[in-house]
Structure 1
């Protein structure tokens, strides 16, 4: 057996033991699909938009093994970076109003093993520390990010680089890394990163930059700059990636082709990736050739790597409207920034820009005003009385929220997961 065959066989064997484990939530896919979150812990209510203190988001993620619900919506301004503990489920879909935006100095999920992060916006901005990522992961395992909106990183906007095992980023916006660096992010791990149905937009380069073991399917990439779109390794290290049914669309800032910096060390299985380069206001791209000349000299593999892919793989032209309708923190509602980014893509080459200061962007306000319309929850267990009554729980008993039901999920997980579609 050759080195490549041994690598794939070993990876598949590692995945088999996880294949029958409970999904993080219905619709969780890819390498991080079995993250546990706070299933065996406790419920924490975020009750204010303060940077710190009791009831704050920072306090919520400071201790392990919590399911975090939001009694308020709006923008949380943070002065210092927030480090997330292990076994956390951030259920942003529970926030009232337009949801939650965390704005400021960035987030670290390093060693935040078994994190589940859904329906929340993380935006760093010019006031963040120079040389820091908007979201960074340097170590850890079993994490999934679903319907997240990430923007305005000072170094990278969303970056994974290190001994990181089994991570999925799905249905997520990775946008507007600030110049002069202006990077979507590194996705560099030898132990499995899945990227499904995401939108990379208005990043000069690294949309993403991939090294190691990666599954890149049904993503939309718009208006990268001269640094490049998908960067294939650019190193002596070995990489093994599926690159399937993605759509690359040039915008006003785009001056180089979709794939750059590949070499023989980057092993890519490629299929039906579309490229629309003419900036004519219409989505009318065509499939890239399946040759090294179209994929920046990477080694083209004939067999798909047997990674845990998406349950429903769309054709690239079908992925574009799906992604634009569903991507990002769109529940309870999209905010002006995300609406503006989606509108840029829909111009198909006519609109879009690289920015150095989020305040100069024309996309609008970065989050909704404070909202406090949480439903009645007599026992304070995170599940509204009405839902408990309808599902045979006791609205006077706070302990039943964390009871594990027949589905394998805690009752509060069943509730928070029911708020949003399964994909």
Structure 2
């Protein structure tokens, strides 16, 4: 009932079912695909590959193989596509070396996929996942690392959810995510070691139970002239070795913004102990007495401290690989390790920093 009332309040279409059991937020309206397609090999192209699978709309994609797919060019998705990375045998499925693009597409569902762009991509203007001008998109339990332009580029995107995901170690611009238009939901994500944009959001936004570690600027609006509303509930910000100003947890929140901020914590002392204090001061934004979207309260089932425990245990693609294990370990140091990087090889992990599946 809360979801229905929220949809009516903001003009969203009502749907009889969400993208998958447990899907939340604005992107949960994504219908994905229904025609079965099984990925049977890890080649970049050809019959039975992921590129073959996403070349036609309406497909529901599962995996009979595990490992990395090394892309030689951007992977362009078709509309009405579901990618079920959780169906891959252990240790799971990932793509590396180029961008995945859902630009201009609609009804995209991506689950349990490792997306690792890195400097194998010669195009420094590409992002790890691009959903610019897309409609109805949900990324859930994905692991995105080594984004070159942004980890996630969503300029002009409508009805987006990014949930239960790890968004870490961007190189190049060192930015987490850039979303405009919206509305958008960022839910129970782990953001690690980015310079800025965690996310940059020029949209009406739900930002609930996220954990942000080793940031230079975290939740950002960038002094935009746009008039947007923000529900900021139960998030935990933790300073790390690269954090120059812990108070930039809410960054460039000007008087054009309206924000409801409740239950957020900031651990600024880098002492290896989780001991944050209240962090609900939101710059010069207009303070809302209640959430702008009534569904936000229903999403915020965890305190910030509970979110820290839950997100570190559950975010990202399962089972965790070398990259995600290293990222989570840096967060668990609570201020004592972690770095903002320019090249994935500097992590010292195998496979030139990409890790091995």
TM-score, normalised with respect to structure 1 = 0.79
* Maintained 8 Å contact 1:142/1:166: yes
CA RMSD of aligned residues (A): 1.7
Distance 2:7 2:58 in 1: 31
Q: Out of 112, 135, 138, which is 1:141 matched to? A: 135
Distance 1:197 1:98 in 2: 23
- 1:313 aligns to what SS in structure 2? coil
Distance 1:204 1:334 in 2: 24
Residue matched to 1:245: 234
Distance 1:12 1:186 in 2: 25
Residue matched to 1:150: 144
Taking a change above 3 Å as real, the CA distance of residues 202 and 171 of structure 1, as seen in their structure-2 partners, is same
Residue matched to 1:361: 347
Residue matched to 2:125: 131
- 1:342 aligns to what SS in structure 2? helix
- Please say which structure displays the higher CA radius of gyration: 1
- 2:95 aligns to what SS in structure 1? strand
Taking a change above 3 Å as real, the CA distance of residues 109 and 222 of structure 1, as seen in their structure-2 partners, is same
Taking a change above 3 Å as real, the CA distance of residues 138 and 11 of structure 1, as seen in their structure-2 partners, is farther
- 2:197 aligns to what SS in structure 1? coil
- 2:184 aligns to what SS in structure 1? strand
- 2:41 aligns to what SS in structure 1? coil
Which ranges of structure 2 fall in alignment gaps of 5 or more residues?
A: none
Distance 1:146 1:66 in 2: 18
User: Are residues 1:334 and 2:320 paired?
Assistant: yes
TM-score, normalised with respect to structure 2 = 0.93
Q: Out of 307, 320, 332, which is 1:319 matched to? A: 307
Distance 1:85 1:30 in 2: 22
Residue matched to 2:74: 81
Distance 1:329 1:348 in 2: 22
User: Are residues 1:301 and 2:288 paired?
Assistant: yes
* Maintained 8 Å contact 2:208/2:300: no
Deviation at 1:262, TM superposition (A): 1.5
Deviation at 1:259, TM superposition (A): 1.6
* Maintained 8 Å contact 2:41/2:48: yes
Which ranges of structure 1 fall in alignment gaps of 5 or more residues?
A: 1-7, 370-423
Deviation at 1:305, TM superposition (A): 1.1
Deviation at 1:12, TM superposition (A): 1.6
* Maintained 8 Å contact 1:51/1:79: yes
Taking a change above 3 Å as real, the CA distance of residues 347 and 213 of structure 1, as seen in their structure-2 partners, is same
Structure 1 residue ranges, 4+ long, deviating more than 4 angstroms after superposition: 8-11
User: Are residues 1:36 and 2:28 paired?
Assistant: no
Distance 2:323 2:124 in 1: 23
Number of matched residues?
A: 347
Residue matched to 1:282: 273
Q: Out of 240, 243, 260, which is 1:269 matched to? A: 260
Distance 2:223 2:55 in 1: 37
